[in-house]
Structure 1
Amino acid sequence: MRNRLSRGLIALSTVLALLVVWPVAPASADTKHFNEGVCNMYVNSNGFGAYCSGGWIGADLASWRELLGNRPFVPCRDFEVPPGVTLPAPPEGKDWVLRLTIVDYDLGTDAPPGGANAHIERAIVPVDREDRAQCPTLGYMDRFWTTFEQGYPPPVLQVNPTYTPRVNVPAYFDLTPDSAYVLKESNIALFRAGGDNLTMRGVVGHITVDPGDGSKPVECISGVAPIGKDSYDKTKDPFHQLSTCSHVYKRSSANQPDGMYTVKLKIRWDVSYWRTATGDWVQLGSAEVEAVQRLPVQEVQAIGG
């Protein structure tokens, strides 16, 4: 069975793996090597996640040969294509899948799980029933694969000093904390039970705000005034703020559709991962998300309200 699987994988990857590549920047994907196993992590405009392979028994790491017993090792598995990946229609009778294949693995008893050279290769390929049979989903292999996904929250624009800006008074833009930061943690199967978690996070590091009144966009960068940390100082007036993420509307929105300006946002999410064993955040990649929000502007010279 193992030999048949291997021959089928070689034939399939040779013909199909070059048909589709992972999305171009600002999306990215990479394989990360850990002593306990390997993870393929990705970030794109829809979210981020990880596909990992490894295994454990209790609190002690076991070799893959010990975990398998006398059963064959199936080195590949098909997953749904992650959200955010745009593909053409598949060939007739086939569906697109994300096929992950563990290569250069070592089943030796004394080797760390998977061996020191094990890594995951990825390809988005069209498959039919016969193609899927080359990478069967066998129950005893479930422990060798773990996956989790995390989408970005809908952006919620904060405007200070009041949500409805006043003409000739600076309006300061920011995102709510809940829409500027997202965390995903999992005690994934390849790490020691109770001993080493994998955590991934997304943080908004940059926003471009098009105010919608024909003026040039405003660039808002995380720094002195962190995005999503309520950077507006309510103890000071709007003319004396540290934040530079602001715009002065010269006209009200009365003549705009529905009496509101259409504000366009371009948001850059920076994604990192962290492990209990290392304690350091490691940058994985960045992705941009676009959104639109409607904003009324009033012809009032005072700040109140």
Structure 2
Amino acid sequence: MQNRVGRGLLVLSAVLALLMAGPVTTASAETIQTGTSVCSMYVNSIGFGAYCSNGSAYIPTGNSTPPPTWRERLGGKPFIPCRDFDIPDGIRLPKAPEGKKWVMRITITDYNLDTYDGGDNAHLERAYVPVGPVEEAQCPFPNYMEPFWHQFRSSYPPPALVVMPTFTPRVNVPAFFSLTADSSKVEADPKKDPGKYSGYIDPTHNLTMRGLVVEMTIDPGDGTKPFKCAMGVTPEDDPDGYDETQDPFHQINTCKHTYKRSSANQPDDMYTVKLTITWEVSYWVGKGQGGWQPIGQANVTAVQRLPVQEAQAIGG
């Protein structure tokens, strides 16, 4: 197998429209401890991310000095365990009561100020609550509390559909579908920039989050039934899974569809292909002895306009 020369010509992102699903809920992993942080993670149809209780990374200086306790970091000021965040993208809530707005309130509970990480029992609780001035005053956020909080997020990239072996499928010739590697994987990795992410204290304590497309359902738009394609990580030298040494009728890839009629009688002479892309988000802590731990899955839908021609020739 080999990479196709001029691969960019096969990426139909110019006519690919991303459509977010309707009301969705947040699927969260249990709160985890990573170095000096307690983190709560989420995944939805927009993307994924984490809210962590201990702000920016603490990176050791090499002199074996232990990290400061939370009480030492406060310097005599009161610890305020809650913080209000904007509602994450993808969450749909009813209209807030008059004079109030929805916020996501995250509270650090069961913490021990005399530890560097809040203690073994520390965890985060989240709630979507309507707040007005009175409720906001119950959860202030002074500047000195900033180091105790951090969040990072990553959204899914726009899907870029690849069709093989030709830019325009031919009638009675199998058309093979895949997503580009760049649009089927996204990773938020604190090791790449430890000052930007929370939960990094040494090479054994860090939090990495990853989203992978694990399934894609394709409605080809010609009146036939939708079909599912298993997805996963592909080799860098063969990201589309298409063997150009073989003809379209002798491929291992099963993510394919054979159009029996051209799209000449369709709007704009193109079929409307509907995609349902299933993302699975996982996290990795420390050296990852336990491997990637799944958090949950979310679906994103998209549509593709695809011309299909009568010509039987394979070249394109």
TM-score between both structures, scaled by the size of structure 1:
0.86
- Per-residue CA deviation, residues 238-276 of structure 1 (Å, 9 max, x unaligned), is 001111000000000000001000000000001111233
Q: Does 1:258 align with 2:257?
A: no
Provide the residue aligned with 1:233 in structure 2. 243
The runs of at least 4 consecutive aligned structure 1 residues that moved more than 6 Å come to: 224-228
**AA matched with 1:163:** F
**Kept in 2: contact 1:144–1:190 (CA 8 A):** no
**Kept in 1: contact 2:54–2:198 (CA 8 A):** yes
Identity of aligned residues (%): 56
Provide the residue aligned with 2:118 in structure 1. 114
Q: 1:218 to 1:78 in 2, by over 3 A?
A: same
For 1:299 and 1:74, the matched residues in 2 are separated by 68
2:223 to 210, 214, 233: 214
**AA matched with 2:201:** R
**AA matched with 2:43:** V
Larger relative contact order, structure 1 or 2 (CA cutoff 8 Å, min sep 6):
2
2:170 to 157, 166, 169: 166
- Shift of residue 230, structure 1, vs aligned partner: 0.9
Q: 1:213 to 1:202 in 2, by over 3 A?
A: same
**Kept in 2: contact 1:225–1:242 (CA 8 A):** no
**AA matched with 1:33:** I
- Shift of residue 62, structure 1, vs aligned partner: 2.3
Q: Secondary structure at the match of 2:30?
A: strand
Q: Secondary structure at the match of 1:258?
A: helix
Q: Secondary structure at the match of 2:189?
A: strand
Q: 1:223 to 1:99 in 2, by over 3 A?
A: closer
- Shift of residue 65, structure 1, vs aligned partner: 1.1
1:132 to 108, 132, 136: 136
Q: Does 1:294 align with 2:294?
A: no
For 1:196 and 1:87, the matched residues in 2 are separated by 36
Provide the residue aligned with 1:16 in structure 2. none
Task: Tell me the C-alpha RMSD between the 2 structures.
Answer: 2.2
Provide the residue aligned with 1:78 in structure 2. 84
Provide the residue aligned with 2:48 in structure 1. 48
- Shift of residue 54, structure 1, vs aligned partner: 2.0
Q: Secondary structure at the match of 2:210?
A: strand
- Per-residue CA deviation, residues 194-235 of structure 1 (Å, 9 max, x unaligned), is 874322111101000000000011210026978992111111
Q: Please show how residues 190-209 of structure 1 align to structure 2 within 5 Å.
A: 190-192=199-201, 196-209=205-218
Provide the residue aligned with 1:98 in structure 2. 104
For 1:41 and 1:180, the matched residues in 2 are separated by 20
Structure 2 stretches of 5 or more lacking a match? Answer: 1-22, 61-65
Provide the residue aligned with 2:149 in structure 1. 145
Q: 1:43 to 1:69 in 2, by over 3 A?
A: same
**Kept in 1: contact 2:59–2:200 (CA 8 A):** no
Q: Secondary structure at the match of 2:171?
A: coil
Matched residue count:
280
Provide the residue aligned with 1:284 in structure 2. 295
Q: 1:58 to 1:74 in 2, by over 3 A?
A: same
**Kept in 2: contact 1:53–1:190 (CA 8 A):** no
- Per-residue CA deviation, residues 10-57 of structure 1 (Å, 9 max, x unaligned), is xxxxxxxxxxxx954xx4013322153311100001100000012665
**AA matched with 1:213:** D
For 2:294 and 2:199, the matched residues in 1 are separated by 21
